[in-house]
Homo-oligomer: A and B are copies of this chain.
Amino acid sequence: MTYAVWGWGGADEEPTAATLADLAPFVADTTGIPVQEPFRPRPLQELPPGRRDLPPSLHALASDDPVDRARHGIGRSYRDLIRAIRGELGSVPDLVLRPRTEQDVVDVLDWAGTSGVPVVPFGGGTSVVGGVEPVGLEGAVSLDLQRLAGLVEVDPTSRAVRLRAGTLGPAAEQALRPHGLTLRFYPQSFERSSIGGWVATRAAGHFSTGPTHIDDLVESVRAVTPTGLWESRRLPASGAGPSPDRVLLGSEGTLGVITEAWLRAQPRPAARWSATLGAPDFLTGAEAVRLLLQSGLAPATCRLVDPGESALTGTLATGEAALVLGFESLSAPVEVDAAAALTLCQDAGLRVVETGSRGSSGDAWRSTFVRAPYLREQLVLLGVLVETFETSVTWDRLPGLVTQVTAAVTDALLRVCGGGRVTCRLTHVYTDGAAPYFTVFAPSRRGSEVAQWDEVKVAAGEAILATGGSITHHHAVGRDHRAGYDRQRPEPFARALAAMKRELDPSGVLNPGVLIGP
């Protein structure tokens, strides 16, 4: 199948046979996973014809191009990649609609509501949890917001910016640069994900502390619901009833189509500092991180990786867990906090490997971070099962969760794949807990990749829920986490959410199956 369907990058970034041949021995060597003859992506199976009942007034928005439709039927999870590369997409939308204006969104939802057409809002299409795949939705359309993009307004006094939902990360940063501002929001999907997607899925950026959830940046949201326009007042904070924004944040396209948001922006940091420390093991490192956070320090970067991941990523080749610490500041010097953090970590049994002011190395790390999806698709082509999952948990339960999830997944990998490895890092840290993030590498069995991963993922989800974790910290719920989500949330809240859905979307056409309903 064409790279435009399953690939992370542009056409010129499709992995070549030579790239894969070069990579293969390195992969085998570092992961210990046997590589296979590179997958040759198969052509897309013929799609059933798209729906023909679109009113003429919406024709200008519509595309029934098979590649376009296929691209909108998948996200970027392992199972999405596999299905796309195999040319076996189960569900694709009948049409892709690209509104040019907010009124177009209104018109699409009016038609969809009247005609009972399922509508799946689509931002950058980087969901790793089945957020955009129209599973079981007859005649669904994908509502791609890419034309509703761009910076609308800057309030330099309040340092807030109004962006259209379809704006992708790089375009947002480019538009803000002349104003001396940045959103300072870098999820791993940064290159291809959108403002609206961030808000709808409660995305998180790579910073470990501080305003790192999109929730923290949102000043107001504007959305089209099937029954009316939703726009909250721009406010720095408000105690007037439950927060309207917090209802749309995480609503994953089920309550309305987000068209714009006012987000808090800031200048670039003036001072940066970073250090790498070694810890004898992951839990000793985690204890140091807990003490660090509870001492009142808030390192912008506080990324603890276990010995396996430390070795794999080349962070430390010593068999230790690695803690990468970074402080940033807009104005005040960072050295005082940095020194306090180092002392605290050393007292907690960690050793300092290197420290220094961070110039371009932080940017280099971020570049590697946002390039990871490219490497990942190459591994998949080489027959490696590679996937991640994540959670959050309070500190008291963290050691139990990490130990039991690792054991459960290792056991499942042995059973399902005959082996493999699972590594863990902490991506986000809080005074009362942290977000463990797991990466799995395993040998895949051609033809059974999806079934293999599904079985491992069930084991992971069960262990997470049993040890007090969240079914997701920042990957969202989508269709993949739905069963775990239903068990996690308060039962009356589930009913409340369904009631909101019925009120706002009485025809039930918005992203059916996600969060709410059967």
Residues of chain A touching chain B, judged by Cβ–Cβ distance below 8 Å, are: 155, 157-160, 201-204, 213, 219, 225, 227-244, 246-252, 255-256, 264, 266, 290, 294-297, 329-333, 336-337, 340, 344, 392-396, 428, 430-435, 468-477, 481, 485, 488-493, 495-500, 502-504, 515
Look across to chain B and name the residue whose beta carbon is closest to the beta carbon of A213: B237
Q: Which residues of B contact A201 (CB under 8 A)?
A: 239
Q: Which among B232, B242, B295, B395 is the interface contact of A248 at CB below 8 angstroms?
A: B242
Q: Which among B155, B431, B434, B500 is the interface contact of A396 at CB below 8 angstroms?
A: B155
- Separation of A290 and B496 alpha carbons in the complex (Å): 39
Q: Which residues of B contact A228 (CB under 8 A)?
A: 491-492, 495
| 11 contacts across the A-B interface (CB closer than 8 A) | A155-B394, A202-B239, A228-B492, A236-B394, A240-B470, A240-B471, A240-B481, A296-B329, A336-B336, A498-B503, A500-B500
- Closest CB-CB distance, A193 to chain B, in whole Å? 14
Q: Which residues of B contact A250 (CB under 8 A)?
A: 239-243
Look across to chain B and name the residue whose beta carbon is closest to the beta carbon of A221: B490
Q: Which among B231, B471, B502 is the interface contact of A499 at CB below 8 angstroms?
A: B502
Look across to chain B and name the residue whose beta carbon is closest to the beta carbon of A201: B239
Q: Which residues of B contact A432 (CB under 8 A)?
A: 158-160, 219, 236, 264
- Separation of A161 and B370 alpha carbons in the complex (Å): 38
Determine whether the beta carbon of A230 is less than 8 Å from that of B332: no
- Separation of A251 and B242 alpha carbons in the complex (Å): 6
- Separation of A244 and B250 alpha carbons in the complex (Å): 11
Determine whether the beta carbon of A242 is less than 8 Å from that of B247: yes
- Separation of A496 and B395 alpha carbons in the complex (Å): 35
Q: Which residues of B contact A158 (CB under 8 A)?
A: 394-396, 431-433
- Separation of A233 and B157 alpha carbons in the complex (Å): 39
Q: Which 5 A-B pairs have the closest CB atoms?
A: A236-B433, A296-B330, A499-B503, A202-B239, A246-B246
